[in-house]
Amino acid sequence: MKTVPRISETEWEIMRVIWATHPITAAEIIAKLMEEDATWHPKTARTLLARLVRKKVLDCERKGRAYVYAPRVSERECVGMASESFLDRVFGGSLVPMLAHFVEERRLTRKDLEELRELLEESYKGSGPRRK
Amino acid sequence: MKTVPRISETEWEIMRVIWATHPITAAEIIAKLMEEDATWHPKTARTLLARLVRKKVLDCERKGRAYVYAPRVSERECVGMASESFLDRVFGGSLVPMLAHFVEERRLTRKDLEELRELLEESYKGSGPRRK
DNA sequence: TGGCTTGGCTTACAAATGTAAGCTGCGATA
DNA sequence: TATCGCAGCTTACATTTGTAAGCCAAGCCA
């Protein structure tokens, strides 16, 4: 069971861009980051990219005069780890209170509620007696 | 709008103990921590406590020869901040995908599903047309 | 063709975090 | 009463994280 290296808060912003689109060059990544938040500094982003490569979270390959980056770990996997860790840390691992918090805290649209209801239906059907 | 100082991963473990029971002495805190995870080192816990006091997240007051600790920030508040930050970081702020992740990923018991369904009902009633 | 720009490589540096270890009294114990 | 063991105070120290700044080479623009 390989463990995904820890991805820091700022690194997540970069990873999200790369998971969304790859392979992708540093310049493109930086452009996308700055669209969201103009305070991103290119040098900073490049440092973070290098770190992610060093951590083996990203792959980089020369492409002409620049590098293109691609993820080496799946988003699914990382989301899983981060979610697990968050759940444990903040809610002591109890799922229902956590979900309750979000449902109560945030005003959900009717549409959101519909979607969630459907999800639950699905899950309900799936939850047979053979649950570990 | 006062901002709660950032609480680190290990600090959360301590805070959860204190929110659950306070005022409480360092020795009691350490005992509780070690119940859960025997690898906790008393010296480490004390260092963390001192940091939390310095950060003004905890209050400490002399009580005889020892200190008793109490929270200065509400759990609710901290849970809110941490949840917000997690949601943004890992799911780009989109609530429904996040909830979907948890519902899909973890096998929920029928009972859990019932509870959630009820929560949704509640929320549904509350969500009127005047949603900002 | 001579800068200006941009990409990449190297280096910097403070703050936060995890993880303790020493030293110094006070109170309980032998 | 001499001693041990905690409680707290002070200090340590390697990593990780956030945030860049220098320097050098290859293109690109004028």
Q: What's the ipTM?
A: 0.87
Q: Which strand C nucleotides have any atom less than 7 A from protein CB atoms?
A: 6-12, 16-22, 26-27
Position A80 pLDDT exceeds 60: yes
Q: Read off the pLDDT of residues B102-115 as tens digits, 9 standing for 90 and up.
A: 988 876 788 888 88
Going from N- to C-terminal start, the domains of chain B cover: 9-71, 75-126
Residue B109 to residue A123: CA distance in whole angstroms: 10
Q: Regarding predicted confidence, which is higher, B4 or A79?
A: A79
Structure confidence at residue B127 as a pLDDT band (50, 70, 90): low
Residue B103 to residue B93: CA distance in whole angstroms: 17
Angle at B100 between CA B13 and CA A70, to 5 degrees: 85
Distance from CA(B53) to C1'(D13), angstroms, rounded:
22
Q: Is A129 on the interface with B (CB under 8 A)?
A: no
| Amino acid code (one letter) for B73 | V
Position A84 pLDDT exceeds 80: yes
The Cα of A7 is separated from the nearest Cα of chain B by a number of Å equal to: 10
Name the nearest CA neighbour of B52 among B63, B44, B40, B64: B44
Q: Is A77 on the interface with B (CB under 8 A)?
A: no
Segments in A1-132 forming alpha helices (H): 9-20, 26-36, 42-54, 75-91, 95-105, 110-126
Cα–Cα distances in angstroms (integers) from residue B65 to residues A123, B27, B54, B105, B127, in the given order: 55, 12, 20, 49, 53
Position B3 pLDDT exceeds 90: no
Query: Does residue A99 contact residue B119 with C-beta atoms inside 8 Å?
Result: yes
Identify from B32, B90, B124 which residue to disrupt to test chain A contact, counting A C-beta atoms within 10 A and taking the largest count.
Answer: B90
Q: Which strand D nucleotides have any atom less than 7 A from protein CB atoms?
A: 6-12, 16-22, 26-27
Distance from CA(B42) to C1'(D3), angstroms, rounded:
23
Position A2 pLDDT exceeds 50: yes
Structure confidence at residue A112 as a pLDDT band (50, 70, 90): confident
CATH number of A9-71: 1.10.10.10
- Do domains B9-71 and B75-126 share one topology? The answer is no
Q: Read off the pLDDT of residues A122-131 as tens digits, 9 standing for 90 and up.
A: 777 665 444 3
Q: Read off the pLDDT of residues A17-67 as tens digits, 9 standing for 90 and up.
A: 999 999 999 999 999 999 999 999 999 999 999 999 999 999 999 888 889
Q: Read off the pLDDT of residues B46-101 as tens digits, 9 standing for 90 and up.
A: 999 999 999 999 999 988 888 999 999 999 999 999 999 999 999 999 998 999 99
Structure confidence at residue A85 as a pLDDT band (50, 70, 90): very high
Query: Does residue B83 contact residue A58 with C-beta atoms inside 8 Å?
Result: no
CATH number of B75-126: 1.10.4040
